[in-house]
């Protein structure tokens, strides 16, 4: 129904003003089209911004988990020589005990 009202109004403008009416309608259409384009561009920008925010959040969480894992690996690597020395000492003690006993 709205479309019919628009067509009726456009026909009245063209009937009243002739070629100037056509130019007026065309300019009005171009203005409306530009407003729609700007509206859509803003909405697309918000969608993109939300998407990028979510990606950044997931990346931050992933980096935090990676940092925690790397810290644990680093601790294990740093403790490895100590544990090896302890194992060697324990084996030497067992060998000595077996030799004595």
**Residue 7, pLDDT above cutoff 90:** no
Segment 23-80, tens digit of pLDDT: 888 998 999 999 999 999 999 999 999 999 999 999 999 999 999 999 999 999 999 9
Domain assignments of the chain as residue spans, ordered by start: 2-76
Taking the CA atoms of 44, 46, 48 and 54 in sequence, report the sign of the dihedral they define: negative
**Residue 99, pLDDT above cutoff 80:** yes
> Look-up: residue for tokens 């203005």?
31
Q: What is the pLDDT of residue 95?
A: 92
Q: What is the pLDDT of residue 53?
A: 96
Question: What number is the average pLDDT over the span 7-20?
Answer: 85
Distance CA 88, CA 92 (A): 6
Question: What number is the average pLDDT over the span 78-88?
Answer: 93
DSSP designation for 82: H
Predicted TM-score (pTM) of the model is 0.50
């Amino acid at each position: 129904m709205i479309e019919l009202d628009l067509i009726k109004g456009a026909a009245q403008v063209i009937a009243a003003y002739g070629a100037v009416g056509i130019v007026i309608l065309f300019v009005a259409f171009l203005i409306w089209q530009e407003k729609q384009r700007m509206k859509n561009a803003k909405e697309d920008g918000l969608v993109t911004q939300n998407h990028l925010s979510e990606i950044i959040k997931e990346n931050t969480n992933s980096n935090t988990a990676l940092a925690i894992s790397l810290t644990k690996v680093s601790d294990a690597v740093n403790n490895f020589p100590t544990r090896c020395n302890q194992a060697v000492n324990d084996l030497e003690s067992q060998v000595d005990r077996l030799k004595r006993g």
